[in-house]
Amino acid sequence: MASDSSRKSLQSTCSIDIDEIDEDLLNEKCCFGYMNLFTCLAMLAVVNLVVDIVGAILAMGTDIMFLFVVIAIGSMLCLAAIITSIREEKKRMVNLTKVWVVFKFLIMGLSALILILENSMELELTGITMSPINELWPLILLLPLFVLFLGAQYYISSRVVKLIAIRDEIYIIPSSPGSVRLRESLRVELERRKSKVSDGVAKF
């Protein structure tokens, strides 16, 4: 009974949802425990930048080359922000990189829509048009990679934000006796959850 009341008190005081904390997150792991979470996020940012640069090269001579140049510059800034946020553990900066991921999706979708509409208007005015595929093929070719790597970056960024929040709760220098008790309570709860999982695995 005392344990239940302690957990309720912890849940009401702590900004972290205890049920969402897992062992891989506490150990800074992802990809089934094979890769460091921060390293994975930085690698995904590099991969997305490379994909953008490849897209700009493939789109040379088309109307969407400028689009790829713009998003490549944005991805470069995003990579710099991720490296800084990892080194300094800035949760807000990681959240801003998540905003860029969503914004990048919107930019690509709107650009494709604008090109298709321009093509349709040119057909109505002149009767001569070029197939939209001729202009959009670099975007169409790279679309699966965009979806895969941007989605992965958004997910890993969310995990990193959660990990930094946990560290803030557990390891921040306490400024009052209450924060000391909160920190200790969170540690006890996490240890209880970890031992419960270990016992379940042993019984299985």
Name residues whose C-beta falls within 8 Å of residue 168's C-beta, 6 or more positions apart in sequence: 91
Lowest-confidence region among 2-11, 36-45, 56-65: 2-11
Q: Where are the beta strands (DSSP E) in 48-146?
A: none
b/e 87-126 (16+ beta carbons within 10 angstroms → b): eeeeeebbeebbebbeebeeebeebbeebeeebeeeeeee
Per the prediction, the chain carries an average pLDDT of 72
Q: What is the pLDDT of residue 50?
A: 93
Q: Where does the pLDDT of residue 45 fall: very low under 50, low under 70, confident under 90, or very high at 90 and above?
A: very high
User: pTM of the full predicted structure?
Assistant: 0.66
* Distances in whole angstroms, Cα of residue 200 to Cα of each of 18, 21, 33, 110: 19, 17, 19, 50
pLDDT of residue 178: 45
Structure tokens at 127: 């009767």
- pLDDT at residue number 3: 46
Residue-wise pLDDT for 103-123, tens only, equals: 988 887 777 777 777 666 655
User: Rounded mean pLDDT of 169-183?
Assistant: 51
